[in-house]
Structures are given as structure tokens and as C-alpha cells.
Structure 1
Amino acid sequence: MISVRWYLLWYLLLAVLLTTVLACITQSGFNLAAIAALTGGVAAGDIAATIWFDLTHFGFTYAPIALVNLLVAAVLLHFLPLLRRYWLAAGLGAVLLYLMLLIINIIAPMPTLIAATRSNTGIISMLLCSSAGMLSYVWLLKRRKLYA
């Protein structure tokens, strides 16, 4: 009989949600910074509207990327328990996202699919979002084992 651990799926989905929200806010920040450089400033209402727009529209584009990224990382964590250290898991999430971004930028016909990844600062910011998702996943796993 196969035993399914549903909590692993829920933890993964929570990590994907965190990663997606952080990445959308990061994407909005880079877009708003580019607009502010051109116009001299952005109103607070426009900032909130842009963040909300990116959460509701860009989130659907980024969520599958985050899901594949964190799913591969979760599978690696399952088979290589040594990677369950926080700093290794964070690095794994970042490296896997970087590899995915390289593949996506090769496949996508436009210069870059994610505007924030056009600069080194943007790439690092997006990698940190992925690392935060992996850290939350590992934290939830360790928390469950502590209280189980």
C-alpha cells in the first residue's frame, strides 16, 4: 500500500505561494523604478495598483515557474536529506531558479520573460525570492518533525 504524505504537498504549495508573492512584488519594484527614472516619481496609488496588477496577472505566469523550481528542489531534498540544512536548501532553490531562467530566456522569443531579470540586481532579487520559498519549505518540514 502506498502512503501519501499530503502535508508535503501543502508545504510545497505554501512555499510556491510565498515565492510567487515575493517575486511579484520584486517585479513590481523593478518596473516602478524604471518608470520613476523616466517620469521623476510614481504616486502611492499607482504603486499599490501596480503591485496588485502584478500579483493578479504576473503571478499566474510566475507560479508555474516557482512550482517546477521548488518541486525539483523538494524531490532533491527528499532523496538527499543532507540538503535539508537551511543554507544548502536556500542555495539549491537559487541555483535551480537560475538554471530555469537561463533555459526560459533561451526558449522565450523576447529578450527576457521576466523584466526584473534583465539586470544582475534583478536576478539576485529573484533568486532570493526562490531561496525564501525553499527556506519556508524546509522550516515547515523541520517544524513538523519537531512537533510530530
Structure 2
Amino acid sequence: MTNRWQPLVAYVAAVLDATLLGSIVQTQFNLAALSALGAEISFTTRLATTGHDLLGFTPLYGSLIAIMMLGAMPAASVVTRWLGSGAWLIHALAAALGLWVTLWIVDTLAPMPTLIAATRSLEGTLAMMATAALGGWGYAILAYFDWDGASG
């Protein structure tokens, strides 16, 4: 027996996880790019910029993640049921792939070359996909965890 709120709790946690981690990663990639240009960025500035981006970038990025997860997590659940196992890996891969597709769509529609500067490089794109994968992994843990303590 599963808790009726379990999928919703798992979804919200996955969105928050992927969004917050993704925001932090994109900030650090942007600051690294500025450092590569010669800008000296102190630890205090890094913290302040990260905080600023958590407030300013997170709402937009969170809406992209929320929409992506609405498609990726149910699709991963179907594949998991079909295969009978591998929920954590399947959900992590679905979230990473879902973010890649979402970024491709957004970048195709956005007037600028890329909406999220960190995704201009392969490393940045992979790092952002990894944060989405962590969200998908967390979804699987929460969605498939037996909250009632009953076996089977």
C-alpha cells in the first residue's frame, strides 16, 4: 500500500532538488567564465552571487524543471513498470534527458543563443543534466519507498 500523497511529495522534492542544485551550478559556471576572463571573484562574492541567483534565476529555471518533470517522471515510471526494476537509474536518466530536450527547445525558441549561459559548453550542459538526474533519482527514492512500512 502506498501513501496517496507519495507521488506529489516525490515530484515537489525532485523539482526543488533539481532546481536549487541547477541554479547553484549555473552560477558557478558563470563565475568561472568571468574568472577565465581575468575577473577576481572572492568567496564572499561567490556566496552573494549564488544567493542572488537563487532568488532571481530559480523561479524561471524552476518552472522549466517543473514542466520537464511532469513529463519525464511519469514516462520513467512506465518504463520502470515495463522493465520491472531499475527505478532509480531510469528516473535519473529520464530527468537528465528531459532537461537536455527542454534546454534544446528553449534555446530554439529564445532570441538569444542560449537561455542558460552554463549550457554553452558540453561540461556545463552535462553538469546541469547531472543536477536534473539527482532530482529524478530523488523522485524514485521517494516515489518507490514504502512509507507505510508494509512489505510487498
Instruction: For residue 6 of structure 1, report the CA deviation from its aligned partner.
Output: 2.4
| TM-score, with length taken from structure 1 | 0.89
In the alignment, is the contact (CA less than 8 A) between 2:73 and 2:94 conserved in 1? no
Report the residue type matching 2:68 in the other structure: N
Counterpart in the other structure of 1:135: 137
Query: Aligned Cα RMSD in Å?
Result: 1.8
The match for 1:91 is 93
The more displaced of 16-25 and 93-102 is 93-102
* Aligned residue runs from structure 1 range 99-114, under 5 A: 99-114=101-116
* Counterpart amino acid of residue 122 in structure 1: G
Match of 2:146 in 1: 144
C-alpha displacement of 1:145:
5.6
C-alpha deviation, 1:35, in angstroms: 1.5
Q: How many residues of Structure 1 are paired with residues of Structure 2 in the alignment?
A: 145
CA separation of 1:78 and 1:86: change in aligned 2, threshold 3 A: closer
CA distance in structure 2 between the partners assigned to 1:60 and 1:144 by the alignment = 31
Decide which structure has greater helix share: 1
* Equivalent AA in structure 1 for residue 122 of structure 2: N
1:103 partner amino acid: I
Q: Could you tell me which residue of structure 1 aligns to residue 32 of structure 2? A: 33
Letter in structure 1 aligned against 2:91: A
Q: What TM-score do you get using the length of structure 2 for normalisation? A: 0.87
One-letter amino acid of the counterpart of residue 27, structure 2: S
Residue 45 of structure 1 deviates from its aligned partner by 1.0
Ranges in structure 2 where 5+ consecutive residues have no aligned partner = none
| Partner residue, 1:123 | 125
Q: Report the CA distance between 1:86 and its aligned residue.
A: 1.7
Identity of aligned residues (%): 34
Select the structure with the greater relative contact order (CA < 8 A; seq sep ≥ 6): 2
Q: Which residue of 2 aligns with 1:71?
A: 70
Q: Name the SS for the 2:37 alignment partner.
A: helix
Give me the whole-angstrom Cα distance separating, in 2, the residues matched to 1:85 and 1:78: 7
Structure 1 match to 2:56: 57
2:68–2:99 CA contact under 8 A, matched in 1: yes
Shift of 1:78: 3.8
